[in-house]
Each structure stands twice: as C-alpha cells, then as structure tokens.
C-alpha cells in the first residue's frame, strides 16, 4: 500500500516549488503566444480590408466585416486553453 502513504513535508514542498517555477515560464510563453496570435488577427483584418478596398466596397461595409471577423477571431484566440 505504498501508493496511499503521504509524502513527507520536504518532498511536498519541493514539488510545490517546482510547479511554481514551471508556471512562471509557462505564463510568459502563453502571453507571448497570445500576443503573436493577436497580431495575426490584426494582419487578417488588414488583408480583408485591403481586398475589399480594391474592390470598391463601401467603407462602412468594410468596417463592419473587418470588425466582426476581428472580434470572432480574437474570441477564439483568447478562449483557447492551449494558448
């Protein structure tokens, strides 16, 4: 029944410290990934606006389309658990 034994306090403290250190690096990586993904959303919106602008679409329609796509993509990026 060695699986049911409690760890001594020194081992539990070492495990907690290791988990805390790894979360610090993971948090930085997550922030950087979301920043890059947000830049991608801005780039996609800019591309859509450029294509629609070259097709002589009214400015207000471009604004609505780009804003809607940007909000949708940003929601997907920021709700993702893998980022």
Query: What pLDDT does 65 receive?
Result: 96
Tell me, yes or no, whether 16 lies in a domain. no
Tell me, yes or no, whether 48 lies in a domain. yes
Cβ burial, residue 75 (10 Å; 0-12/13-18/19+):
exposed
Query: What pLDDT does 83 receive?
Result: 62
Answer whether 0.75 is exceeded by the pTM: no
Residue 37: enclosing H or E segment and its boundaries?
A: helix 9-54
d(CA 1, CA 78): 44
**pLDDT digit of tens for each residue in the chain (83 aa)?**
555 565 555 555 555 545 444 567 778 888 898 899 999 999 999 999 999 999 999 999 999 999 999 999 999 888 877 76
Counted domains in the chain:
1
Tell me, yes or no, whether 18 lies in a domain. no
Tell me, yes or no, whether 42 lies in a domain. yes
State which residues form the domain around 64: 33-83
Cβ burial, residue 48 (10 Å; 0-12/13-18/19+):
middle
CA-to-CA dists, residue 8 to 11, 15, 21, 37, angstroms? 6, 11, 21, 43
Tell me, yes or no, whether 50 lies in a domain. yes
């Amino acid at each position: 029944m060695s699986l049911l034994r409690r760890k001594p306090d020194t081992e539990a403290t070492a495990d907690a410290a290791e988990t805390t250190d790894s979360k610090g690096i993971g948090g930085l990586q997550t922030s950087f990934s979301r920043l890059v993904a947000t830049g991608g959303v801005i780039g996609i919106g800019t591309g859509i606006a450029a294509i629609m602008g070259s097709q002589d679409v009214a400015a207000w329609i471009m604004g609505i389309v780009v804003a809607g796509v940007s909000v949708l993509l940003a929601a997907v990026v920021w709700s993702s658990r893998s980022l």
